[in-house]
Amino acid sequence: GEDVEQSLFLSVREGDSSVINCTYTDSSSTYLYWYKQEPGAGLQLLTYIFSNMDMKQDQRLTVLLNKKDKHLSLRIADTQTGDSAIYFCAESFGSSNTGKLIFGQGTTLQVKP
Amino acid sequence: DVKVTQSSRYLVKRTGEKVFLECVQDMDHENMFWYRQDPGLGLRLIYFSYDVKMKEKGDIPEGYSVSREKKERFSLILESASTNQTSMYLCASSLRAANQPQHFGDGTRLSIL
């Protein structure tokens, strides 16, 4: 069935770039999403990419999509301590309008001063 | 901005109690979702609803039920709470169209003693 995989943990130093990776299985997904969860809070939509795009940039965030390999990445430039959080990638569940998303396990990003 | 409000941030209940978790959204979204979040497991879908009085089982519905009497409100019910239902519960909503992002509440951390 559909599955989304992420590594569980990433540690970087403040000012470095962070790259969080994700693989997915549903080739019919048309949108892929990145969410951020700060401690004790819900998920906040960070950005998304349409499947006919290879790249999307939004200020310090760059999303890269390799559709052939079903690989998605989120790059955060000049990582700050406020970027410490759990990051989830998610794929839309086929073309259904039920709105279901399939989420990865989440990657905990630790930013060291 | 979309606002999804969960009635409690923290809740402590006893084994065997009937527990109600409430969620309200203010953007006239058709779809609403209940997830539970556990470390290392990511988000797992319990139930979702795509219209008033409509509901569908997610991946882990056992031990839970839901109610959607009004469009803006989606309730999660633990019929007889057990200690393995101690978790973070997240509510989300989205428009009823393919590939719409979900918007999340801040979560309810539920402890069953």
Query: Is the pLDDT at B62 greater than 80, yes or no?
Result: yes
**How would you write B90-113 as a 3-class SS string?**
EEEEECCCCCCCCEECCCEEEEEC
Which SS3 state, helix, strand or coil, does residue A81 take? helix
Residue A77 C-alpha, separation from nearest chain B C-alpha, in angstroms = 24
Residue A96 pLDDT: 57
B-chain residue closest to A9, CA distance: B40
B16 band by pLDDT with thresholds 50, 70 and 90 = very high
User: A6 with A21: CB under 8 angstroms?
Assistant: yes
Q: Which of B6, B21, B43 to mutate to test the interface with A (most CBs of A within 10 A)?
A: B43
Are A92 and B41 inside 8 Å of each other by CB?
no
Which SS3 state, helix, strand or coil, does residue A55 take? strand
Residue linked to tokens 């700060």 = A38
Query: Is the pLDDT at B84 greater than 90, yes or no?
Result: yes
A-chain residue closest to B94, CA distance: A99
Residue B87 C-alpha, separation from nearest chain A C-alpha, in angstroms = 12
Residue B44 pLDDT: 92
Residue-wise pLDDT for A36-60, tens only, equals: 999 888 999 999 998 888 999 999 9
Query: Is the pLDDT at B71 greater than 70, yes or no?
Result: yes
- Residue A11 CA to residue A49 CA, distance in Å, equals 25
Are A99 and B102 inside 8 Å of each other by CB?
yes
Query: Is the pLDDT at A97 greater than 80, yes or no?
Result: no
Q: Structure tokens of A83?
A: 């970027």
User: B6 with B25: CB under 8 angstroms?
Assistant: no
Are A48 and B4 inside 8 Å of each other by CB?
no
B31 band by pLDDT with thresholds 50, 70 and 90 = very high
User: Among residues B85, B84, B91, B83, which one has the least CA distance to residue B108?
Assistant: B91
Mean pLDDT of all residues in B44-73? 95
Question: Out of A31, A42, A44, whose CB is closest to B99?
Answer: A31
Q: Which residues of A touch B33 (CB under 8 A)?
A: 99-100
Q: Structure tokens of B52?
A: 């008033």
- Residue A88 CA to residue A5 CA, distance in Å, equals 10
Are B45 and A100 inside 8 Å of each other by CB?
yes
Residue B89 pLDDT: 97
- Residue B109 CA to residue B36 CA, distance in Å, equals 10
In chain A, pLDDT over 70 holds for what percent of residues?
Answer: 91
Written as one string, the DSSP assignment of chain B is ---EEES-SEEEE-TT--EEEEEEESS--SEEEEEEEETTTEEEEEEEESSTT--EE-S--TTEEEEEEETTEEEEEESS--GGG-EEEEEEEE-SSTTPPPEE---EEEEE-
Q: Is B99 on the interface with A (CB under 8 A)?
A: yes
